[in-house]
Structure 1
Amino acid sequence: MNRRNKFHVYLTIVTFCTGFLVATSIETTKLMRKERMNDQLFQQETQLNERILAEKEQNRHLENQLLDLQRQVGKVEEAMATRKAEAAEILSQLEAARMQAGVVAVEGPGIVVTMQDSQHAASSPDITNYIVHEHDVRLVVNELRLAGAEAISINGQRLVSNSSIRCIGPTIIVNGVKSAAPFVVSAIGDPETLEGALNLPGGVLQTLQDFVQIDVAKLNAIQLPAFVGDAKSKHS
């Protein structure tokens, strides 16, 4: 083999080695880049997973806070409902007390009892037997109270616990106000119950109907005025 041929052989070997080294370098570079990319992706995935875990923990914490707040709100609402019920009960008792005290005007179903002197009064030798007296009116009022009347008035005068019914001649005085027949007794309560109480055998109507004229009317709505005067002082 001459020198020329040897040179070509060496050149071929060198070229082959150089190409091999370049190819190896390229592949190595690719592998290194791929590894770096894989490392970056792994790091990104790790960071993302850590963020997801942190968000889940934060969400769990917020859910616990929400449940705690809901429990607190539930307790407050329960307390408010209890207080509201108590306030409603107190208000109901107050309204009932005010009605019984007669300090407010009231309206409701009930009956109206109209009492007038008998038609026989003018021709009777004893006229006092056939005119309406205060005790006749008091009998009606007491019977209505026993039957559960919630409020009563006589000729527009509201009766309270200290009200008195007095007689002066053919007139009666209620709450210091004088009025003459006919005497209209208005009572709020269950109309059937009130009327039934007056119509009991041997009761008020049977006792008085032979002496005075009495008419009873049931109404769906009766208006009674408030008491006017000093409820603390009893009228004598």
Structure 2
Amino acid sequence: MAEENPDSQGTANAPDPQGTADPQGTANTVPTANTAGPANTAGTDRPRRRRIGRRTSALIGVLTMLVGFAVVVQVRQTQTDELSSMRQDDLVRLLDEVTQRNEDLTAERSQLRLDRSNLQSGSDQGRYLRNYATLQGILAGTVPVEGQGVTVRVDDPDHGVAAQDMVHMLEELRNSGAEAISVSGVRIVASSYFLDAGGELLADGQIISPPYLWSAIGNPDTIAGALEIPGGALAGFRNAGAAVQMTTSELIRIDAVRTVSPPEYATPVTEE
């Protein structure tokens, strides 16, 4: 009589603790597989998270670059649109004005450097001081001046021109390099102002009446080009109902002068 193997019978006939015996006799291998599974998953999650984090950072960087590029393109497009509506003649005139202004500033800088060198070396101080006094007299409006420039006559029978229109005209003249300016016998200086008062137009406290006569000494081509730009000072006068006539001349004389009052609050700084 064959002898039964106790181990094989015990393994095959052992009751399944979960009530689901494996018909293939592999009940003991299932817990081993389940036990190893979570350990392997935990070991592979960390590299995967690192890769996801790096991809997220790279995506944020790319999006930031795209947003910055879009902003730059929009700014350049806006600046281009402002000039695209202007006529070619106006663009050429504007370019000439900017070029001339740049050349004037460059020459002024060179002259100031030369003057500083002369003062530091002590050479020709007398001539420099005389020239400096003359320059300050012109800027302060205390001496008559003459030179090439433009005159502008503004006929305003309906009194539609306001102080703001006159300020616009003054700004355009200064921006175009005018060195001396007067309007209807009033010398314009750094402290000048225009004011609407009770239906009257005041320039530095003096009543001025149409026709308003502007005189400006400077490069006539540059000044005329700046005033005739669409939307500029002359266009503002015309929109107010005034008739404008501008004339360039090789010799304009401004006899109106100002009396300089001593400053009330400002005093020079003494260098230690």
Aligning the two structures, in what range does the TM-score lie when normalised by the shorter sequence? 0.5 to 0.7
1:193/1:173 CA distance change after superposition, 3 Å: same
Question: Could you say what the CA RMSD is over the residues aligned between the two structures, in angstroms?
Answer: 2.6
Corresponding residue to 1:223 among 211, 236, 253: 253
1:101/1:201 CA distance change after superposition, 3 Å: same
Provide runs of 4+ in structure 1 moved above 3 Å.
82-86, 228-234
For 2:239, what is the secondary structure of its paired residue? Answer: coil
Which blocks of at least 5 consecutive residues in structure 1 are unaligned? 1-81, 122-129
- Describe how 1:11-26 pairs up with structure 2 within 5 A: none
For 1:99, what is the secondary structure of its paired residue? Answer: helix
State the match for 1:150 in structure 2: 179
State the match for 1:139 in structure 2: 168
Taking the aligned partners of 1:181 and 1:233, their CA distance within structure 2 comes to: 33
For 2:170, what is the secondary structure of its paired residue? Answer: helix
- Describe how 1:11-90 pairs up with structure 2 within 5 A: 85-90=124-129
Corresponding residue to 1:93 among 132, 140, 147: 132
Aligned residues: 144
Identity %: 29
Q: Deviations over 1:103-130 (max 9, x none)?
A: 1111111111111226xx4xxxxxxxx7
State the match for 2:30 in structure 1: none
Displacement of 1:189 in angstroms is 0.7
Letter in 1 for 2:254: L
- State which drifts further: 138-147 or 195-204: 195-204
Corresponding residue to 2:230 among 201, 207, 214: 201
For 2:245, what is the secondary structure of its paired residue? Answer: strand
Which blocks of at least 5 consecutive residues in structure 2 are unaligned? 1-120, 265-272
State the match for 1:213 in structure 2: 243
Mapped contact 1:109–1:221 kept (Cα < 8 A): yes
State the match for 1:108 in structure 2: 147
1:199/1:217 CA distance change after superposition, 3 Å: same
